[in-house]
Structure 1
Amino acid sequence: MTEPRLVVSKLHKRFGGLIAVKGLDLSLYPGEILGLIGPNGSGKSTVMQMIMGIVPPTAGQIMLDGRNIAGKPIYEIARAGIGIVFQHSRPLRLQTVLENILLGLLPDRIDRLRPPAGALDRARAIGAECGLGAVLDRMPGTLAFADLRRMEMAKAIARDPQVVLIDEPFAGLTRGEVEDFSELIGRFRDHGRAVMLVDHNVKSIASLADRVVALYLGEKIAEGSPVQVMRNETVRRVYLGGGIETHERPEAEIAAHKVLLRVDAVSLFYGKAQALDAVSLTVHEGEFVSIVGLNGAGKTSLFNAISGLVPFRGTIAWDGVVRSGESAASIARSGIVQCPETRELFGSMSVAENLELAGQKFSESEKVARLAWLHELFPILQARGEQEARTLSGGEQQMLAIARSLMLKPRLLILDEPTLGLAPVILGQLSEALRRLRETTDITVLLGEQNVTFALPHADRVYVLEHARIVWQGSPARFAAEAGEGYL
């Protein structure tokens, strides 16, 4: 490791008024794995796309072996020695696995379409190296999800790149498959390739990478060994928030109430990718339960299963009755209301119209009373009543999304990442609203959060979701004592 193979200097990317990457400097050496981490919206994927030429940088340099490739066409960058493994598999579905790999060995000239001598043997060797030896003659559509990901790896290295960019390699994989892929990526390094790795599975990156760069809102906030970066106070604050406070109610008080929601051994797949693996949990009536986990852990998938938005295996019992084949609308009418991470407001409708639409099943007097209560909970919504929802700030939109969900008078309110991308002053207002809900109503809340310091003060019980599985459960106080240190 004498000279870096790839050097990024003052890299900047603007999408309209949004600065996605700001003044980024980083280097990547031969025989090294560099992990790129950060919450959603940090700019990780944008950095990889600029290096590969998928999007042009607004400013800055990308030097590959001393040559500036910033803004060059993708094919030139690929010829120069950079390969990328995308998160989503994109095979040629009418060709076998072997033929998909062989495509990367063909000359990239229109007048030379025949594979060179030895290409077939080379393709078989690459397939075997990536764990595909037994499925080379099969069609991509018949492969397991992990084998599809292996094929994407094989396609990328068929052109013998010296720099390999790998986006979310561990998404949708089981624990055993994550270990297999870590070994495969490690072999790329052993062969002298420079590897840049992006994934939400921070622990897997930390166990594999030689160095880690942490991004937040497009800027580098830390760089160093995995241990150094994971212990960095700025990184921990970005992922965890500030200091941990807990205010759980006595366990006996919660246990005295009936179980309102029971999730038993629920597994969920998106195609062949596993998003949940035998997840079980219980929520008592009136209880506030927090599901904490990093992005990609499976929180949204769990909530979508409970809300009837996606099919799943296992059982979900609501108020003592096992659900079976109910529509999402029926589930919502029964009292389970989800406030999604994406908010899903009607942007061209006013704040008042969004709320009135949610309260259309109530009598006029009940609707007026409900609106008055919500305006007391979120005063800004009354002041913004005639304003179109799409013109609100991010924090105001989040308040409206929560208020619209509460307008439906839910028995169980599911809040999915309500703090995502919000300023500290807004977090304080949301925290105060949850405190009032907890102290003045009998509502039950299931909160999914990456921000531990927001989630724990509003929790009676905590589940930690990691890589599609529940890996810890207990009281917030126990989490602070036992699990908090190992969360990242």
Structure 2
Amino acid sequence: MTSALLRLEAVSRSYGARRAVDDVSVDLRLGARHAIIGPNGAGKSTLLHLVAGTLRPTSGRIHYAGHDIGRWPAHRRARAGIARTWQHPALARPLTAAQNVLLAVPGQRLTALRPKPRAVTAAHTVLAQVGLTAHADRPAGQLAYGDQRRLEIAVALAARPRLLLLDEPSAGLATSEITRLAELIRALPADITVLLVDHNLDFVAAVADTVTVLHHGQHIATGTPAAIREHPDVRRVYLGVDASTSPASGNAPDSPTTTAAADGTPVLRVRNLRAGYSGASVLTDITLDVRAGRVTAVVGRNGAGKTTLINTIAGLHPNGPGTEIHLNGHLVTGIPARRRAGAGIGLVPQGRRLFAGLTVDEHLTLPRPHPSRSRAVDSRQVLDLFPALAQRRHHRPHQLSGGEQQMLALARALVAAPDVLLLDEPSEGLAPAVVGQLATIITGLAASGTAVLLAEQNLALACQVAHDIAVLDRARIIRHVATADIREYPTELHDLLTVPTTTPTPS
């Protein structure tokens, strides 16, 4: 029997000629806290899929608890003690938090009319462990995003794992939530081994004993968090930008403070917007103007209602009485989402919402602008913005990196050449270098005349690309301020949100 709980021996996964994971070897002892980091496209999530059994290796061996599990299906691995979370929370949204956890408790049959008392006790114990006791009876879909992250960990813990796989657990969380998540992981029992993937190096340093760095599927280095931070190759590949993934050089926009369209006319006017869930108010009296050639960012803690705001404007969530949403001077309140899209509202949703069975090319044939719209562009023009994506035209989403998936979601929205583009947490799960590319693209779209409404947890990105920032708190916009003023008084967002206004970078 091997001395390691998990041992990967020269594991590879290929998609045609492309090796997403290339001869990677990793050993994890019992109780280890090990992190996998690297730029988007490094093969991090693919490696977790290979361990969990949702993908099979092309070559190499995977040993778990002394067994070669390379050919075991995912459900057999789960029963053997391998539990996982996903890059975006995968929950049964209509079920309550407690019901989600009950699904994972061993011995609880899904067909049972009533859960066993012992299973109910186990479910509530795990909810208490992650700090969600007060939300036990709330539907998962109504929880704040940070609470959904914690609920997914509770579901995984309810299965009593020996090996816990966490895919981007800190993505989309505010600083205070990341701190609580780190405390939760550090407090896990010593007999649970943790293998996590994340881009936040401060979070990784807070929870991991050892770190492995991947780049283009290949192993670069393994060591302590402190050693990895100082490793020159790690700094180059993690923070640098490869020519193959950079946006086209001719598309670099001006700074948002110097854009010629800074005084554009309102394209989207929102007045007295109200929205909620099951009678509970989430947004009240929201008033916004989004102008041509400008980026307006909406920031706030998780649970403040940013996604609800974006979805209500797009027509995916019902608005309350008195709401008025005008697009190019026309009232669109009450018309379905597909008609709003045809009229000029584009959406890049949180979680990307790509179709698993469709290729990149097929995704870009889906948007069909209304015949009366004259600004529509073809997929070839859109792909000029994304050279790396253009090289993956026949790939499906699971064959793309997280950054490439985000670019595909953005490209799909741009095919219809929207007058106003709604972006919901577009930087979630992206490496620093790819966030830089995203900033370039967003400011370039504004420079070309598009109105952009950005809901973003990454305050550094919001301050970099936005002309003005609306602060959402307790169901209302409590402050609307020009980004230039934020730069002059950098503590203002800190005072309003009690979170740092910059994203820490490796020193």
Query: Separation in 2 of the partners of 1:246 and 1:444?
Result: 13
Contact 1:123 1:158 in 2 (8 A): yes
Partner of 2:388: none
Q: What is the root-mean-square deviation of aligned Cα atoms in Å?
A: 6.7
Matched, 1:237 2:276: no
Query: Separation in 2 of the partners of 1:380 and 1:94?
Result: 41
Contact 1:5 1:28 in 2 (8 A): yes
| Greater displacement, 255-264 / 28-37 | 255-264
Q: 1:348 to 1:26 in 2, by over 3 A?
A: closer
Contact 2:295 2:446 in 1 (8 A): no
Q: 1:285 to 1:128 in 2, by over 3 A?
A: closer
Give the match's secondary structure for 2:27. strand
Partner of 2:450: 444
- Out of 285, 288, 291, the position equivalent to 2:292 is 285
Matched, 1:360 2:366: no
Matched, 1:327 2:333: no
- Out of 305, 308, 315, the position equivalent to 1:308 is 315
The two structures have a TM-score, normalised by structure 1, of: 0.58
Aligned residue runs from structure 1 range 175-190, under 5 A: 178-188=178-188
Give the match's secondary structure for 2:165. strand
Q: 1:278 to 1:195 in 2, by over 3 A?
A: farther
Partner of 2:106: 104
Give the match's secondary structure for 2:50. helix
Q: 1:186 to 1:328 in 2, by over 3 A?
A: same
Give CA-to-partner distance per residue, 1:393-435, whole Å, 9 cap, x none. Answer: 99999999688434xxx544568979x99xx9xx99xx89996
Query: Separation in 2 of the partners of 1:264 and 1:210?
Result: 51
Partner of 1:191: 190
Give CA-to-partner distance per residue, 1:4-50, whole Å, 9 cap, x none. Answer: 53232221123456533222233334443223345665433332232
Contact 2:92 2:100 in 1 (8 A): no
Contact 1:291 1:446 in 2 (8 A): no
Give CA-to-partner distance per residue, 1:162-199, whole Å, 9 cap, x none. Answer: 322234545677766554443222111x5242211235
Partner of 1:52: 52
Letter aligned with residue 315 of structure 2: G
Contact 1:97 1:151 in 2 (8 A): no
Letter aligned with residue 191 of structure 1: A
Partner of 1:461: 467
Query: Separation in 1 of the partners of 2:140 and 2:465?
Result: 44
The two structures have a TM-score, normalised by structure 2, of: 0.56
Give CA-to-partner distance per residue, 1:419-457, whole Å, 9 cap, x none. Answer: x99xx9xx99xx89996994xx6x23438799x9xx99x
Give CA-to-partner distance per residue, 1:219-271, whole Å, 9 cap, x none. Answer: 4456544566567231112599699x873365697664444446799999999
Q: 1:27 to 1:154 in 2, by over 3 A?
A: same
Q: 1:178 to 1:265 in 2, by over 3 A?
A: farther
Query: Separation in 1 of the partners of 2:468 and 2:483?
Result: 5
Give the match's secondary structure for 1:20. strand
Give the match's secondary structure for 1:70. coil
Query: Separation in 1 of the partners of 2:220 and 2:285?
Result: 36
Contact 1:221 1:234 in 2 (8 A): no
Letter aligned with residue 446 of structure 1: V
Give CA-to-partner distance per residue, 1:310-352, whole Å, 9 cap, x none. Answer: 457898665678863333344345544458876999968999x
- 1:82 deviates by 3.2
Partner of 1:209: 208
Partner of 1:23: 23
Give CA-to-partner distance per residue, 1:58-84, whole Å, 9 cap, x none. Answer: 211223355433223446545654333
Matched, 1:32 2:54: no
| Greater displacement, 168-177 / 8-17 | 168-177
- 1:141 deviates by 7.5
Query: Separation in 2 of the partners of 1:53 and 1:210?
Result: 25
Query: Separation in 1 of the partners of 2:333 and 2:452?
Result: 21
Query: Separation in 2 of the partners of 1:77 and 1:402?
Result: 38
Partner of 1:486: 504
- Out of 231, 247, 256, the position equivalent to 2:254 is 247
Give the match's secondary structure for 1:405. coil
Structure 2: runs of 5+ lacking an equivalent: 110-115, 300-304, 385-391, 491-499
Partner of 1:474: 483
Contact 1:4 1:27 in 2 (8 A): yes
Contact 2:296 2:467 in 1 (8 A): yes
Larger of the two Rg values belongs to structure: 1
Letter aligned with residue 324 of structure 1: T
Query: Separation in 1 of the partners of 2:142 and 2:455?
Result: 34
Query: Separation in 1 of the partners of 2:363 and 2:220?
Result: 39
Partner of 1:384: none
Contact 1:20 1:218 in 2 (8 A): yes
| Greater displacement, 397-406 / 229-238 | 397-406
Determine what percentage of the aligned residue pairs are the same residue: 25
Structure 1: runs of 5+ lacking an equivalent: 108-114, 293-297, 382-388
Q: 1:79 to 1:332 in 2, by over 3 A?
A: closer
Give the match's secondary structure for 1:286. coil
Partner of 2:90: 88
Partner of 1:405: 416
Q: 1:307 to 1:51 in 2, by over 3 A?
A: same
